Homo-oligomer: A and B are copies of this chain.
Amino acid sequence: MPKFLLRIQFDGRNFCGSQMQKNGRTVQGELRRTLGRIFGTFSDLAGCSRTDSGVHALDYCVSFAAETRMDCSMIQKALNANLSADLAVVQVLLVPENFHARYDVVSKEYVYRIRISPVRSPFWEGLALQDVYSADLGQLNRGASLLVGTHDFSSFMAAGSKITDPVRTVVSAGFERNGDLLLFRVRADGFLYHMVRIMVGTLLAVPRKYPAEQIRLILQGKNRKLAGPTAPACGLYLEHVFYDRI
Contacts and interface: CB of A to CB of B under 8 A. Distances in A.
Contacts of A122: 9-11, 85-88
B119 A80 contact: yes
- What DSSP secondary structure best describes chain A's contact surface? loop
A104 interface: no
Contact of A121 (B88, B123, B126): B88
Contacts of A126: 85
A89 interface: yes
A143 to B, nearest CB: 29
Interface in A87-131: 87-90, 119-123, 125-127
A11 B123 CA distance: 6
This chain's copy number in the assembly: 2
Interface in A50-105: 56, 76, 80, 85-90
A122 B122 CA distance: 16
Interface in A1-52: 9-11
Contacts of A9: 121-123
Contacts of A125: 11, 85-86
A61 B76 CA distance: 43
Contacts of A123: 9, 11, 56, 127
A126 B11 CA distance: 13
A119 B125 CA distance: 24
Nearest to A127: B123
Interface string A118-149: 01111101110000000000000000000000
A126 B125 CA distance: 15
Contacts of A56: 123
Interface string A146-167: 0000000000000000000000
Most chain B CB within 10 A, of A11, A121, A123, is at: A123
Interface of A: 9-11, 56, 76, 80, 85-90, 119-123, 125-127
Given A76-B119, A88-B120, 16 more contacts: A9-B121, A9-B123, A11-B122, A11-B123, A11-B125, A56-B123, A80-B119, A80-B120, A85-B120, A85-B122, A85-B125, A85-B126, A86-B122, A86-B125, A89-B119, A123-B127
